[in-house]
Amino acid sequence: MDEDQHANSGPSNKSPNQVPQKQKKKPRGPTKGIKSMPGVPRIIEWDHLDRPTGKWATDYKNHIGEISRAKVSILIRTWEDVSQGIKDTLWEDVKREFHITDETKKEVVLKSCDKRWREFKSRLTTGWIRGTRKRPKDEKMPYDLYSYITKDIWKEFVKIRTSEEAEEISEKARQSQSFNIYPHHMGQKSYAEMTSEWQRKGYIPSVSSSSEGSSASTISSSLPSRTCLWLLARSVPDEKGNPYLPDQGTQKVKENIDEWKRKQDEGEFVPKSARDDVLSRALGKTKEGRPLTFGGGVGIKAVWGTGERRSFRRYGDAEMEEMEARVTKRVKDETIQEMNSKMDAMVMEKFITFAKELGVQIPSHMRIDANVHSSCRSGGLDPFADITV
């Protein structure tokens, strides 16, 4: 099958009987870190969305995880609590190891460090505290596996992760995860890594890198269809190595995608924006909180530009006339109210002056402070009430 056939067909909905049995995965153990290769420079490459790609992408990710676990204590509650000194040390380490000269990549690197550090704490919690994740068969404890975790540190970590506050956070995370009804099957690899692999296999067409001067708003047009990427991420290879959708929910989405694609081809569906595509319609997500198929940390602005972040409503002539009428009436009512208030105050002031000239006794609550101008007085009192002659 050539590239065009792969790209157009996408993962198929074959019978599950044609798919080999899924092998059990081994429990994940400690990462051994990247091997030292003197004289071989590791130069990391970046795509247009600042995602690491190329030959050293896997080494980069492993190294990020290793130094984050080793240099940032698991007793620190959040990434915001990590000192700037430690963050600078992480950045300098990665910059030196992978020959990064662009200082703007510091934020990208530290976001990756944060993500890998949080994932490590989560694995420790689910593997050794909650027991919801498989752990190494030798039953070793974290302080036996990791030199930077002592028994005292582990004891304190268990205390933190079993606190009432931690339980509330964990419950919110479980509720959030329950909405992920279409899980991917990419394992530990990212969309950026898998995209290169899918291109090599011919599942999606290869794309040439655009120039450095390309704007963010044109990035989506230079990337493979995210609809195909979404399906490939949720596929597994069948007995012939072709992508197959094993989950019934995802198969249903594939049917919806085919229907919306037909509508688009026949002109029944015309996307209103880059975000309003076949995938968003098939999933029923016309307002995505983050762009799908680009990986964590990639925001809407980076993919579709600032124009896609917010939509501005356009009013018709009839709506504009109605709005102008409402505003005019409100201004008129407020003006009349203010004028009436001033008139009341002026009448009251004249009346009291005239009463004094006649020697009429004025009640104390009706007396006006001589230092206050009449226009600042509020009316509303009956000028003839409680007057005695």
Q: Residues 214-231: what's their mean pLDDT?
A: 54
pLDDT tens, 322-366? 766 776 777 677 767 766 776 777 777 777 777 777 776 666 655
Query: What residues form DSSP beta bridges with 53?
Result: 45
Q: Residues 2-31: what's their mean pLDDT?
A: 52
Range name among 194-198, 220-224, 249-253 with the lowest pLDDT average:
220-224
Output b/e per residue, 14-25; b: 16+ Cβ within 10 A: beeeeeeeeeee
**Number of alpha carbons in the 13 Å side-chain half-sphere of residue 236:** 18
pLDDT at 44: 92
Is pLDDT larger for residue 304 or for residue 214? 304
Identify whether residues 321 and 304 lie together within a single domain. no
Angle between helices 84-97 and 106-124 (to 10 degrees): 110
Identify whether residues 50 and 171 lie together within a single domain. yes
Identify whether residues 51 and 77 lie together within a single domain. yes
Task: Please tell me which of 63-67, 168-172, 313-317, 352-356 the model is most confident about, judged by mean pLDDT.
Answer: 63-67
Total number of domains constituting the chain: 3
Identify whether residues 95 and 158 lie together within a single domain. yes
Query: Is 382 inside a domain boundary?
Result: no
pLDDT at 176: 81
Query: Is 227 inside a domain boundary?
Result: yes
| DSSP 8-state symbol, 225 | P
Q: Which of 126, 157, 177 is the last residue of a domain?
A: 177
Query: Is 244 inside a domain boundary?
Result: yes
Identify whether residues 276 and 343 lie together within a single domain. no
pLDDT at 303: 67
- The percent of residues above 70 in pLDDT, for the chain, comes to 64
Task: Please tell me which of 146-150, 228-232, 263-267, 359-363 the model is most confident about, judged by mean pLDDT.
Answer: 146-150
Output b/e per residue, 327-346; b: 16+ Cβ within 10 A: eeeeeeeeeeeeeebbebbe
Query: In angstroms, how far is CA 103 from the centroid of its own chain?
Result: 24
Q: Is the Cβ–Cβ distance between 222 and 214 less than 8 Å?
A: yes
Q: Which pLDDT band holds residue 217 (cuts at 50, 70, 90)?
A: very low
pLDDT tens, 48-92? 888 888 889 899 999 999 999 999 999 999 999 999 999 999 999
The Cα 311–Cα 314 span in angstroms is 9
Residues 6 or more apart in contact with residue 332 via CB below 8 angstroms: none
Is pLDDT larger for residue 40 or for residue 83? 83
Q: Which of 291, 151, 290 is nearest to 220 (CA)?
A: 291
The model's pTM is: 0.60
Tell the burial category of 176 from Cβ atoms under 10 Å away from its Cβ (0-12, 13-18, 19+). Answer: exposed
Q: What letter represents residue 203's amino acid?
A: Y
Three-class SS state of 10:
coil
Three-class SS state of 202:
coil
Identify whether residues 49 and 130 lie together within a single domain. yes
Q: Which pLDDT band holds residue 112 (cuts at 50, 70, 90)?
A: very high
Count helices and strands in the chain by DSSP H and E runs:
14, 4
Sign of CA pseudo-dihedral 377, 383, 386, 389: positive
Q: What letter represents residue 380's amino acid?
A: G
**Domain of residue 95, residue span:** 45-177
The Cα-based distances of 143 to 74, 84, 139, 155, 354 in angstroms read 12, 26, 12, 10, 94
pLDDT at 275: 78
Identify whether residues 65 and 166 lie together within a single domain. yes
Is pLDDT larger for residue 306 or for residue 229? 229
The Cα 233–Cα 230 span in angstroms is 5
Query: Is 384 inside a domain boundary?
Result: no
Residues 6 or more apart in contact with residue 270 via CB below 8 angstroms: 264
pLDDT at 289: 60
pLDDT at 170: 84
pLDDT at 169: 86
Three-class SS state of 46:
strand
Query: Is 117 inside a domain boundary?
Result: yes
pLDDT tens, 234-246? 999 888 888 889 9
Identify whether residues 70 and 93 lie together within a single domain. yes
Query: Is 17 inside a domain boundary?
Result: no
The Cα 345–Cα 383 span in angstroms is 10
Q: Which of 279, 276, 303, 296 is nearest to 287 (CA)?
A: 276
Identify whether residues 169 and 52 lie together within a single domain. yes
Query: In angstroms, how far is CA 367 from the centroid of its own chain?
Result: 63
Three-state SS across 154-174? HHHHHHHHCCHHHHHHHHHHH
CB atoms within 10 A of CB 34: 17
CB atoms within 10 A of CB 90: 24
Element (H, E) at 53: strand 52-53
Query: Is 3 inside a domain boundary?
Result: no
Query: Is 102 inside a domain boundary?
Result: yes
pLDDT at 207: 52
pLDDT at 88: 97
Identify whether residues 253 and 161 lie together within a single domain. no
Q: Is the Cβ–Cβ distance between 192 and 52 less than 8 Å?
A: yes
Identify whether residues 226 and 290 lie together within a single domain. yes
Q: Which pLDDT band holds residue 142 (cuts at 50, 70, 90)?
A: very high
Q: Which of 260, 288, 308 is the last residue of a domain?
A: 308
Identify whether residues 352 and 249 lie together within a single domain. no
